[in-house]
Amino acid sequence: MQIELIKNHSHAGRDYQSGDVLSLDDDLANWLISIGVAKRTSTKSESKPDNTVVSIRQENHQ
């Protein structure tokens, strides 16, 4: 799932800025949306932001 960050966020020692578009697994994407850090992006390519898309794999944290 692709999301757009609406707040700055750090993951695994890397900082991401508000407006960055990320390609994430559904669980992590939904978690970021639920805590108010991100929103779903539109699936229409004409409304896709120009930001770099990065992939983040969810790591198991106990």
Q: Judge whether 50 and 22 are in contact, CB under 8 Å.
A: no
62 belongs to a structural domain? no
pLDDT digit string (tens) for the chain, length 62 residues: 999 999 999 988 999 999 999 999 999 999 999 999 999 997 655 444 555 556 665 554 43
- For residue 9, give its domain range: 2-56
Alpha carbon of residue 19 to chain centroid: 9
- Answer yes or no: pTM beyond 0.85: no
Would residue 28 count as lying in a domain? yes
**42 lies in a domain?**
yes
